[in-house]
Amino acid sequence: MCILFYICLSSLSVVIICGNLLVIISIIYFKQLHTPTNYLILSLAVADLLVGLVVFPLSMAFSLSSCLYHDDLFCKYYAVCQPLTYRTKINGRVAVIMILVSWSVSGLVTTGFLMAGSMQDKCKEKCLTDVALAIMIGMIFSFYLPLIIMLCIYLKIFLVAQRQARSIQSTKSGATVSKMESKATKTLAIVMGVFLMCWTPLFLYLMFDSLGYYSMVLVTEAVYWLALLNSLLNPFIYAFFYSWFRSALRIIISGKIFQGDFANSKLH
């Protein structure tokens, strides 16, 4: 069972690495994809690539072992609403700033979790409450607060998209408008649904665990690996559904990028 378990996780790690590498190569190589929006997708792909390269191997080494449970070191849209001013407001510099802020905040939150873990190892029983409080605050700022913000933003995007689709009904057929609304609904449902499906169980479990509730090894393993699987699904959600990525994928896999300069190719 352990051998099958590690073979399965190793295979998932390879898929995560390959999938996100294809996204990274596509956006970096093809000049058509050098847009602020795609820079954000590139940042996400780099983060998911690091999950496959670093987090997966480390987690596999400590999974189903006592180290995982005694070493706390390893616990851890403007374009739709204002489309006419999007290119002037959201440029490459703004996208880079957004990316730097995202990585900086993530680094600070991770540092906070590591410091809380080291405190829990050194402190006596009287400070366990402070450590639990620090962990709870960290979870609020690293997951629950961003989750609420994302839900509000996506809801606004969805409502604006529907309103814009209805506003152009006079120039498009009802079937076309209905298709646009359906696509918007589907996209938002996939993005938020998969994210919530993967990460919510882990943070709910961590919240109850920090409050002193009894934890089970099997449940810990399940919710932890489910969260990491989000890095496997992200390339399919953010990239594989785009026609430009499918075109870039064909050029990369066929080896054409090594046979000539396709950087200025028109991707459909």
CATH number of the domain that 110 lies in?
Answer: 1.20.1070.10
Q: How far apart are the first and last CA of the chain?
A: 45
Question: Does residue 42 surpass a pLDDT of 80?
Answer: yes
Is residue 1 in some structural domain? no
pLDDT, tens digit, 9 for 90 and up, residues 239-263? 667 777 888 888 888 888 888 787 8
Q: What is the pLDDT of residue 67?
A: 44
Burial class (CB in 10 A: 0-12, 13-18, 19+), 259: exposed
To the nearest whole percent, how much of the chain has pLDDT over 70? 65
pLDDT band per the 50, 70, 90 thresholds, residue 114: low
- Domain of residue 98 covers 11-258
Is 9:242 a contact under the CB 8 Å cutoff?
no
Overall average pLDDT of the 9-35 stretch:
90
Q: What is the pLDDT of residue 168?
A: 64
Q: What is the pLDDT of residue 219?
A: 82
Token readout for 194 is 């998969």
Token readout for 172 is 């498009």
123 Cβ contact list (under 8 Å, min separation 6): 130, 131
Is residue 24 in some structural domain? yes
Nearest to 162 by CA among 191, 196, 187: 187
H helix intervals, the chain: 2-29, 36-50, 56-62, 66-70, 78-81, 86-89, 92-122, 128-139, 145-167, 174-210, 217-228, 230-235, 243-253
Q: What's the total number of domains in the chain? A: 1
Q: What is the pLDDT of residue 68?
A: 43
Is residue 194 in some structural domain? yes
Mean of all residue pLDDT scores within the chain: 75
pTM of the predicted model, to two decimals? 0.66
Least confident of 45-54, 144-153, 225-234: 144-153
DSSP string of 5-37, one letter each residue = HHHHHHHHHHHHHHHHHHHHHHHHH-GGG-SHH
Nearest to 135 by CA among 116, 122, 119, 110: 116
Is residue 77 in some structural domain? yes
Residues in the chain: 268
Question: Does residue 152 surpass a pLDDT of 90?
Answer: no
Overall average pLDDT of the 91-120 stretch:
73
CA–CA separation, 222 and 219 (whole Å):
5
> Which of 205-209's residues contact partners 24+ apart within 8 Å by CB, and which partners?
206/75, 206/135, 206/139, 207/136, 207/139
Is residue 22 in some structural domain? yes
Token readout for 43 is 């940042």
Q: What is the pLDDT of residue 176?
A: 54
pLDDT band per the 50, 70, 90 thresholds, residue 80: low
Q: What is the pLDDT of residue 20?
A: 92
Burial class (CB in 10 A: 0-12, 13-18, 19+), 13: buried
Q: How far is CA 172 from CA 27, 76, 179, 180, 230, in A?
A: 32, 49, 11, 11, 37
Token readout for 24 is 């990274």
Query: 167 or 207: whose pLDDT is higher?
Result: 207
